Structure 1
Amino acid sequence: MATKTLLILSILVAFSLFRPSEACGISTYWGQNGNEGTLLQACQSGYYQFINVAFLIDFGCGITPRMNLAGHCDPPSGTCRGLITEIQACQNLGIKMLLSLGGSAGTYGLCSTEDANQVAAYLYDTFLSGKSSTGPLGAVALDGIDFDIEYPRSTLYWDDLARALASYSTPEKKVYLSAAPQCPIPDRNLDTAIKTGLFDYVWVQFYNNPPCDYRSGIAGLIDAWNDWSVYLPEGNQLFLGLPAATGAGAGYAPPDVIVSQVLPVIRNSPNYGGVMLWSRFYDTTFSATIQPAVCGNKLHHEDLLISMV
């Protein structure tokens, strides 16, 4: 018994030193196509550990915040507030639910540090606190905020927004932050923000960028991954962002190639977190194919202890 206890303690110490993935898995974006199924269906598929509800497309610089969820519902009329029960059901399944900012359309940006603070207060009150019944999603308490900042009015102050949002974390409820930069380093919009080290998850878009996506070959894709693995601040998890179908983005890599030639290599990175797929609409078979290989033999503390009892 003493030997077994010592073995468990030794392995737990090793886990603490190597910082295994807190929640290794697949992330996706939901909300930009009315034909992708419901949010609850996405969660009940069993494929995802993270879902980004996309997008808040207008905000900052005095602009009235506006959410767009494509054909699912109409935020201004209040019809999206019915999603609160689906969001809660997803959270009960252990899925982290984040609100995604920006995207490729809309009018958004930050004009000053004070503006970033005001946007953070709006985001917390409306989407994170669970207290604003008049918000687009009702009195929802999402788990965090995703920065998909692609075409902002300004590349400045995103680090201030990250700091302001992180300040709302408490011992009882952490505000998770994620970022979706392009794969060329440095990302022109999010580099300064990423360098704060405040992002729990960084799902880099390894697509739509020929120098660092699959069009550069497997070796090129893995080299780009390794560059990010070294570049990312300590404690941030790195995800391989991929298009989930040929029509989802340039640089599509077949899932069997990802399973057999890419994941076995990148899983060895100490900050490896998993895979991000754009998007739920395009993900008809991709996640089902790669899911068994995404985390490989990375065990959680709970799995380890159960297996040793």
Structure 2
Amino acid sequence: MHFLSLSATALLAFLASAATAAFDAASKNNVITYWGQGANQDRLLTTCQNLSYDIIVVGFVNVFPDQGAGGWPGTNFGNACWGDVYRNNGVNTSLLQTCPNIGPDVIECQNLGKKIFLSIGGGQPTDYWIKSNAYGKKFADFLWAAFGPVSATKSSIPRPWGDAGVDGFDFDIENLMDPAPQNDYQTSGYVAMINQLKNNLFPTDKTKAYYISGAPQCPIPDSHLSVALAKAWFDFFFIQFYNTEQCSARVATQKKNGNGQNDISYKKWTAQASKNPNVKMSIGLPASKDASIATSYYLTPAEAQTLATQFYANKRFGGIMVWEATEAQNNAPCNVDYSTWMKKVLEARAAGTKLDTNLRTCAGVKKRSLPHYHSHGAPHHHHR
């Protein structure tokens, strides 16, 4: 194995600190992953037991109540749920009812210091949308009652994960419809929905922090979330620097001229006006060659180190997001999973050190060949 150029004592200290450190929303060293769409994925708790992760985003709420049967939203968490759904007004909805391990795992993950977000949207299907601000507020109310703290419970709304409540909500909006149901369907309702969560539903007593994140594509402006960034509060942006050729992270590893490397639009993103001036923006990377639509978009740990070094000093830099947990687990250069490498990359940059130079010769990847569930790693036709 090749690890950081650290003594055994220092390595143990690193692992211990990763296990016990409290979550810091302002950190530049956070590692984020998505869980819920991995092929033959393990339980959520297994992902949480990986010391490298700070935030795990569970996806997806991929049917919106405006279009969902029975007037409720629908969910898809891959193999983590049975096929049964809740009924409303005598109609089968798309809201999954039996996901036996997710609720207990969320609670245990939080006991381990992890933050668990619920993601809304995703890359498939793409026919979801919010008709108006009023619908956006109602959507927020439903999600808060169904997946927020137990204190938010309403008798008319089910609790799919029981007593488990998330730490935040993520907006991975990638809808695309032809014909368009209305001119502003890609942006409609999100500002009102986020403001309802942030301003009216999240507790103000500060006993527990709740967060809002977004996962835009890398082109600027993002056709879905750029307006919301300026008008609604986001704590984090997990920018997908993959699936889109002109701004994939790969271009940052290619010398353009003698003046250095392309900025993959990251500097442009961090210069965007935002309601939260301190929003943290993480660079999203595919966790393996199979996690994006082109194998060339994948960065080795050494290349990711170069990228992190390039942007780490930016005041809005917030870490690295990897798509997704199962791909990261199965991709293990030098027998170290990809997400752990990303944590090592960030910690090394924070300490002003470099990864072991032997890493650059580490080409072996232990990877199982598995089928794929749909995910926001799937093709996005509007960006092809």
**1:68 and 2:76 correspond:** yes
TM-score (normalised: structure 1): 0.84
State the shift of 1:172 in Å.
2.7
Question: Does the Cα contact within 8 Å between 2:311 and 2:317 map onto a contact in 1?
Answer: yes
1:112 aligned residue: 132
Aligned residue among 263, 269, 273 for 2:314: 269
State the shift of 1:139 in Å.
2.7
1:235 aligned counterpart, secondary structure: coil
Q: What are the residue-to-residue correspondences of 1:188-203 with 2, within 5 Å?
A: 188-196=223-231, 198-203=233-238
> How many residues matched?
280
Q: What are the residue-to-residue correspondences of 1:276-291 with 2, within 5 Å?
A: 276-284=321-329, 285-291=337-343
1:256 aligned residue: 302
Per-residue CA shift, 1:263-294, capped at 9, x if unaligned?
11211110111000000011032112221122
1:39 aligned residue: 44
2:266 aligned residue: 225
Aligned residue among 132, 148, 153 for 2:172: 148
Could you tell me which amino acid in structure 1 is paired with residue 299 of structure 2? A
State the shift of 1:228 in Å.
1.2
Question: Does the Cα contact within 8 Å between 1:99 and 1:145 map onto a contact in 2?
Answer: yes
Aligned residue among 73, 79, 85 for 2:98: 79
Per-residue CA shift, 1:205-246, capped at 9, x if unaligned?
000111111343426653411111212531100100010001
Q: Give the unaligned 5+ runs of structure 2.
A: 1-23, 86-95, 178-184, 256-260, 330-336, 352-384
State the shift of 1:298 in Å.
4.5
TM-score (normalised: structure 2): 0.68
State the shift of 1:149 in Å.
0.5
1:119 aligned counterpart, secondary structure: helix
**1:121 and 2:141 correspond:** yes
State the shift of 1:33 in Å.
2.6
CA distance in structure 2 between the partners assigned to 1:65 and 1:152 by the alignment: 18
**1:212 and 2:255 correspond:** no
Runs of 4+, deviation exceeding 6 Å: none
CA distance in structure 2 between the partners assigned to 1:268 and 1:166 by the alignment: 29
Question: Does the Cα contact within 8 Å between 1:57 and 1:105 map onto a contact in 2?
Answer: yes
State the shift of 1:94 in Å.
1.4
Aligned residue among 198, 205, 209 for 1:166: 198
Distance 1:162 1:295, change over 3 A: farther
Aligned residue among 159, 179, 182 for 2:214: 179
State the shift of 1:151 in Å.
1.4
Aligned residue among 59, 63, 68 for 1:58: 63
State the shift of 1:22 in Å.
4.0
Question: Does the Cα contact within 8 Å between 2:43 and 2:101 map onto a contact in 1?
Answer: no
1:55 aligned counterpart, secondary structure: strand
CA distance in structure 2 between the partners assigned to 1:240 and 1:100 by the alignment: 17
2:18 aligned residue: none
1:100 aligned residue: 119
Could you tell me which amino acid in structure 2 is paired with residue 248 of structure 1? A
CA distance in structure 1 between the partners assigned to 2:210 and 2:100 by the alignment: 21
State the shift of 1:82 in Å.
3.5
Question: Does the Cα contact within 8 Å between 2:80 and 2:101 map onto a contact in 1?
Answer: no
Percent identity of equivalent pairs: 29
2:17 aligned residue: none
Question: Does the Cα contact within 8 Å between 2:65 and 2:74 map onto a contact in 1?
Answer: no
CA distance in structure 2 between the partners assigned to 1:287 and 1:293 by the alignment: 10
1:228 aligned counterpart, secondary structure: helix
Q: Give the unaligned 5+ runs of structure 1.
A: 1-18, 300-309
Could you tell me which amino acid in structure 2 is paired with residue 139 of structure 1? D
